[in-house]
Amino acid sequence: MALSNRPRTTGGYGTAAGTGALAALILVAVCGSPAYVGWAAGHTDVDSAGGWFLRLLAWPAWRFDGGGETGGLLATNLRAVLLVILAAVFLYLLPASQVARVQGSASQFFSGWAAYVLAGGFAALLAAFLGPDPSLLAAMQAAGTGATYGFLSGWIIGTASLGGRA
């Protein structure tokens, strides 16, 4: 006897949360990579909206070395790791398409977008508290930056969430 009412599928698309989590992983892996971060810092116009956005996409930067910082490699990469983990968690916890009055694409899109905003803010907040020299002011400023990143890049995750079933 089955324990759920979910129909069995043998192929097709994954869940909206799964495709959104995969998109978050790819976005952080590509745009947070040392190669992209270096390119965005050196080849974008600081006085243009496009250049600012391309540099914003590099916010969850990760590195292969600690860069001589106190706390080393973990402190350097904590924000990027937390962003991916929290994005997956929030994508699974925000089942908007299942409880929305109007089910469909719009609720999946906004649920994925909102999950990434929350993930960006919380990842920055936790990384600031768990990193070297934690302070409440630094954590709150970091959370604002993380939420800004999530708001302006979360549409990518929301769009990827459209590719899965609810």
| Residue 4: per-residue pLDDT | 46
Q: Tokens for 18? A: 């799964």
| Residue 16: per-residue pLDDT | 78
10 lies in some domain: no
Q: Give the mean model confidence (pLDDT) for residues 31-53.
A: 94
State yes or no: pLDDT of 14 exceeds 90: no
Q: Give the mean model confidence (pLDDT) for residues 125-153.
A: 92
E strand or H helix at 119: helix 105-130
- Please give the share of the chain, as a percent, with pLDDT higher than 70: 78
State yes or no: pLDDT of 13 exceeds 60: no
State yes or no: pLDDT of 101 exceeds 80: no
145 lies in some domain: yes
| Number of folded domains that form the chain | 1
State the average pLDDT for the chain: 84
pLDDT band at 134 (very low <50, low <70, confident <90, very high): confident
Cβ proximity of 27 and 56 under 8 Å: no
Q: Give the mean model confidence (pLDDT) for residues 139-154.
A: 96
CA angle 149, 153, 156 (to 5 degrees): 155
| Residue 75: per-residue pLDDT | 67
Cα(98)–Cα(4) distance, rounded to whole angstroms? 15
132 lies in some domain: yes
| Residue 1: per-residue pLDDT | 44
126 lies in some domain: yes
Q: How far apart are the first and last CA of the chain?
A: 23
144 lies in some domain: yes
pLDDT tens, residue by residue, 104-118? 678 888 889 999 999
Q: Which residue has the higher pLDDT, 8 or 136?
A: 136
Q: Give the mean model confidence (pLDDT) for residues 124-133.
A: 88
1 lies in some domain: no
Q: Tell me which residue range forms the domain holding 33.
A: 16-62+70-161
Residue that has been written with the tokens 């999950």 in this structure: 115
State yes or no: pLDDT of 99 exceeds 90: no
22 lies in some domain: yes
